[in-house]
Structure formats: C-alpha cells, structure tokens
Structure 1
Amino acid sequence: MAKRGKKYQESLKLIDKNKLYDPEEAMALVPEIAKAKFDETVELHVKLGVDGRHADQQVRGAVLLPHGTGKTKKVLVFAKGDKASEAEAAGADYVGAEDMVAKIQNENWFDFDAVVATPDMMGIVGRLGRILGPKGLMPNPKSGTVTFDIEKAVKEIKAGKVEYRLDKTNIIHVPIGKVSFGKEKLMDNFNTIMEAIIKAKPAAAKGAYLKSVTVTTTMGPGIKINSAKIVK
C-alpha cells in the first residue's frame, strides 16, 4: 500500500484542490495523474441536486459514447427462439433463459458486464431482481436493455454504450474511457455524457442541478471541474 500511497501523493501535487478546472484542463491533466502501470479507466462522478428517493427526481438513461469506454463488455441476453439466435448473431457472450437464472442463483455466476432481455422474459428475469438490482445490472426499458430489438441492443453495448443512474447519495458514476484515449477523445465522451445528464434533468428538481463534477482515474485523485464551463 505504501507504494500506491507514494504515487498517489505525487499525483495529488499536480492538482490544485481549491481550483475548479475547465473540462479541457481536467482532461489534459488526466495522463499526468495516472501513475499506474496499466491503462487506467477514467471515471466521471456527477453529484446532482435531486433527491433520488422520489420517483419524479430519478435520473437514469444510457448513451453511446463516441469513442467507447476502451473496454469490450460481456453481454448476457435472456431470450428464446429466434431472438436467442439473433442475440448470438449480434455477438452476445451468453444467451439463455431459465438455465441462466439458475446459474446466477446457484453458482453466484457474474461473468458478464451487461444484461439484455426481451420483454416476454422479464417474468423470469424478475426473480433475479435482488441479485442484479444492487449491481446495476437489471435490464430496464429506459436504458434500452428490455427490448425486442436484441441486435441493436447488443451491438450498442459492444460499441461503448454506457448506462448512467443515481446511486443512494445522488451521484452518477460512469466510465468515460481510458487514460490512453488522450484529451480530445476524453472530451468528446465527457461532453456526450454530460449533455445526456443535463437533458435528463427532472422537472421536479429544484435549485442547482449540477452540484459537483469530478473526474478521476482508477488509482488517482479527483480533479474538480467547473460545472459552469460545461457545454449545455
């Protein structure tokens, strides 16, 4: 741990904790604070001025990042018959029905990053609500993961579609790429996700909507972004 601590401290020195950075400045700083030996993921954390406990203040959706996330997601599809064949042809990693429900329940199996289901399968997928829900993996019509258009859903997830949703503290955490992407690609992805979050502002939200916007790398400290400078 001491080793990580030293690198983290070095990264910390590059950031002015009291400053709100322009988005471009923040993205340019990302490679400098990334000290790990692997290509770190760049994560965006957006605290919103909403109360997610109220249904009319929920913020949730999905957006296709122009440059993807740098990680190819493993997709599990719940479908039968022609739709199962469509899923396989589209590149789904796992396709099944009751057998997959049993595998998850009995073997605590989670070798997947996203779940898609046809609407007629939600009866059996619902049994996994308590397991998939807390992990943010439950299929949902709002994010396009409950659909009969299985081919589109699988291909979009593989291409870099990310889901955003509030956690219990009203913060959205979402990956926007890898350190190796560089400033321009990270900016494109950042603007795309921020635009989606701003558009998703609930009518019931009062006061400042963007409370804080921070970008971090897997092992690095956070860089605070000036929300007034975000493209709206």
Structure 2
Amino acid sequence: MAKLTKKQKEAHSKIEKDKLYSVADASALIKEITNTKFDASVDLAVRLGVDPRKANQMVRGVVTLPHGTGKDVKVLALVTPDKEAEAQEAGADYVGLDEYLEKIKNGWTDVDVIITMPSVMGKLGPLGRVLGPRGLMPNPKTGTVTMDVAKAVSEVKAGKIDFKVDKTGIVHAAIGKASFSADKIADNAKELLDTLNKLKPTAAKGVYMKTIFMSSTMSPSLQLDPKSI
C-alpha cells in the first residue's frame, strides 16, 4: 500500500471515523481536506437499492444544479441550417451537421454534450459505436434531442447534467468545484439528491438510498447520512 503524504495524513485526520455527515457539514469539510494545485471537482456517489438489470428499476434523469458545475461545458449542436443561428446565440461551441458527423466518424469526440433534433437522429445511429461508450449519444429523455435547441443549449451551459445508475447500482455525478463556497456545494448536492429521491422506482423495495459519499479529486471521501436528506 502506498504511503500517505503529509497533506493526505492531515486530510484523513480531520475525518471522524464512522461518522455520517450532514450535507452542510460534508460540504464545509470537503473544502478543508482538498489539497490540489488545481480547482478540484466535487463528486457524489450514491448507492441505490435498485436492480439496474431490470427495466422497471432503472434510474435515469436530469437535474439543473443551482450553481452550475463550475466546468466550461463544450456543446456541439448538430442541427439543420435553419437552426444554426439559434444554437450559436444560445452559446453552443460547435454548430453544424455533415462536417461534424464526418469528424465524429473519424474519431473526433472533443465535446461534453451533443444536442440535436429529432430529424437528425437517423444520421447519428451509425455513430453509436463512437458516441455510446463515451456517453455522448443524444437522448430525448435527457432533453438533448429537441426542436427547442436554444433552450437545450442554454440549460446545459447553465449547469444541467444528466445521470444514470450504473450496473452496480451507483449514481456518480460531479456537483461543483472545491473553489465553490460550502453553501453552493451543499445546494447543488441537495438538488441532485432531491431529484434522485423523486425518481425512486415503485418496483424498488427496502432502503432506496443505501450510502452516499462525497469526495473531491484525490481527497478522502466523506459518508453522508441518508436520513438527513
């Protein structure tokens, strides 16, 4: 096992073993124990009491974080010419269609979110092997396939994220940056957790939110008290 550095030991010493933290306390402490030279990402990992293999227990959704993610999200709008100006005005980083489809076909995926229109989805089908594994395939359920391109672009730029439970039953999501105030981190965390609570499948039995961990890039994790949500 690798030895802990002085800063890592100091961070671990500030965490009370076996304590379940409230969202507010964890949000304040995560700032104290983050020691990176860059603005670290703050993440939540929520283990849900669901079986993702069953369609009626799949948890997937979108949430607009009140204070954004702190990340400059690069958006590609794959739209027809009549929608290009609308997408550009809304803040899309890349706007076009056939030229970008060709770039993606050749392996280009230097974007965070792709927004498109229903009429264009047929052209994206063959690119599923490139976009699918990277989580870039647009989906009507997450609002990335829509005729209201401007609204979709604006929402993503403002901090709208989509999440999906993985095959182990865990939802991972970035909820901000360590440079955020503790209040902003807490607000974003609560918004995600509240949204997850509303999405509890009726087929899921027993405890829904089993464990919740908050961490930042390279920091120890803090366990939150699900009862405080």
TM above 0.5, yes or no, is yes
**Range with greater deviation from structure 2 (36-45 or 132-141):** 132-141
Give the structure-1-normalised TM-score: 0.93
Percent identity of equivalent pairs: 50
CA shift at 1:5, angstroms?
A: 4.4
Query: Aligned residues, how many?
Result: 228
CA shift at 1:72, angstroms?
A: 1.7
CA shift at 1:95, angstroms?
A: 1.7
How big is each residue's C-alpha offset from its partner over 1:85-138, in whole Å with a ceiling of 9 and x where there is no partner? 2212211111222322221221x2121111111011111112222222222221
**Range with greater deviation from structure 2 (153-162 or 85-94):** 85-94
Q: Structure 1: state its 5+ residue gaps.
A: none
Write out aligned runs for 1:57-206 (5 A).
57-106=57-106, 108-206=107-205
CA RMSD of aligned residues (A): 1.6
Aligned mates of 2:130, 2:203 — CA distance in 1: 30
The structure-2 alpha-carbon separation of the partners of 1:101 and 1:6, relative to structure 1 and needing over 3 Å to count, comes to farther
CA shift at 1:142, angstroms?
A: 1.3
CA shift at 1:81, angstroms?
A: 2.0
How big is each residue's C-alpha offset from its partner over 1:41-96, in whole Å with a ceiling of 9 and x where there is no partner? 11011111111111111111111111001112000111112122221221111122
**Range with greater deviation from structure 2 (156-165 or 86-95):** 86-95
Give the equivalent residue in structure 1 for 2:7.
7
Aligned mates of 1:174, 1:9 — CA distance in 2: 26
Q: Structure 2: state its 5+ residue gaps.
A: none
Matched residue type, 1:191: K
Write out aligned runs for 1:38-49 (5 A).
38-49=38-49
**Range with greater deviation from structure 2 (124-133 or 49-58):** 124-133
Give the equivalent residue in structure 2 for 1:54.
54
Aligned mates of 1:101, 1:161 — CA distance in 2: 24
CA shift at 1:22, angstroms?
A: 1.3
Aligned mates of 1:113, 1:5 — CA distance in 2: 33
The structure-2 alpha-carbon separation of the partners of 1:121 and 1:169, relative to structure 1 and needing over 3 Å to count, comes to same
Give the structure-2-normalised TM-score: 0.94
